Amino acid sequence: MKKRILLFLVLFSGVLLCNFVSAKALPKKIKKMAESVEQRYAPDKKVAVFELEIKKKRKTITLNGITTVPEAKAELISSLREKKYKIVDNFRLLPDSSLKGNIYGVVNLSVANIRRKVSFASEMMTQALLGTPVRILQEDEWFRVQTPDNYISWVNSSSIYPMNKAEFNAWSKADKIVVTSHYGFTYEKPDANSQTVSDIVSGDMLKWDGVEGDFYKVSYPDGRKAYLLQKEGTPESKWVDGTSLNAENLIRTGKTLMGVPYLWGGMSAKGLDCSGFVRTVMFLNGVILPRDASQIAGVGEKIDISNGFDNLKPGDLLFFGRKATPELSERIIHVAIYMGHQKFIHSQGFVHISSFNPEDKEYDQYNLNRLVGAGRIIGNVGNAGISTVKTNPFYQPQL
């Protein structure tokens, strides 16, 4: 028995040694070169793909993997060639050529759940609403997609209707109806007692085919026909022109979501995480922000709150987490909308109002203690990272 154990340990050590030697066979200068390119072009894995495996045999370098950043690939190959290496290029650019031009898609469900990996059991990273345009990057039973906030992850293929450029442009140019009711249904007939076609949530978009009685005639991306009560939607053109990003509208919209439960990755009236709440409130007022709290903190105007709350205005955003120390960097993990008078609305457990004032019944000492910073989106739409349905390239016809 001891001999068998000894033999196993020798063989196991051999495997470890082989792996170790294989890993060390790649010169450090090549590793550093690849790491430098990745850090400059794809530092945030949520919005850029850079998955690379490098193999070296004498003066030949084989690159295997995928990336969404052509500039990163071009620079890496150029740098390696300068070092006189011969390149075997298996480093594919996304969207993958195997998609054969069907690289556009539109969300086909009221809310699509977008996950970290190709599995229903995988962590939900974000969501996208019905009618949201996406870029399809890759197919592996599911679709790897990029949403208008540039977020990249995996979604079950039943949630997305793939299109080629001509089909997508036809969809993009068509008149739409935007759902304004936080929750409801579409129907097979212009009758609320008829068979439902699907549920709907605020922010969903459907193709507008006409009007019949009290209903809009609408179409889904996959061609399904339905009827939507006019009181639960509005024409996109009217919605876009009628939205105005101001404090009153943001706070009013936020309050309509009071009590909606917290849902990790949630981005709809069915459930919201903290940044999903802020992102949804902004979208319902025509503005598209980055997805996560830490990403939102990187856009807009920074507001100094080092001496209190006097510089804050209603509608500003508050960021919470870990303050920077000599040993640790700042970390943003929560975001809220400031309402004025030291009160703020946010999704934590459920959407509710909290206060920094110890005299208020909503006093929230926990979040006061982890308040890190503040930012202003109002007045900064159009700046880097802050777009609208009118300006975001995902919503425009593709050239």
Residues recognised as catalytic: 274, 334, 346
Find all residues with CB under 8 Å of 378, minimum gap 6, and list them: 245, 246, 247, 250, 313, 315, 316
**Angle at CA 338, nearest 5°, toward 336 and 344?**
70
In angstroms, rounded to a whole number, what is the distance separating the alpha carbons of residues 68 and 42? 9
**Cross-strand pairs, 144:** 138, 154
Find all residues with CB under 8 Å of 74, minimum gap 6, and list them: none
State residue 267 phi and psi, 5-degree precision: -140, 30
**Cross-strand pairs, 114:** 126, 155
CB distance 116 to 122 below 8 Å:
yes
Q: Which residue has the tokens 């990163």?
A: 72
Give residue 335's identity as a one-letter amino acid code: V
Q: Is 385 exposed, middle or buried (0-12, 13-18, 19+ CB in 10 A)?
A: middle
Half-sphere exposure of 188 toward its Cβ, with a 13 Å CA cutoff? 4
**Angle at CA 257, nearest 5°, toward 194 and 269?**
45
Find all residues with CB under 8 Å of 208, minimum gap 6, and list them: 174, 175, 176, 177, 216, 217, 218, 235, 236
CB distance 84 to 241 below 8 Å:
no
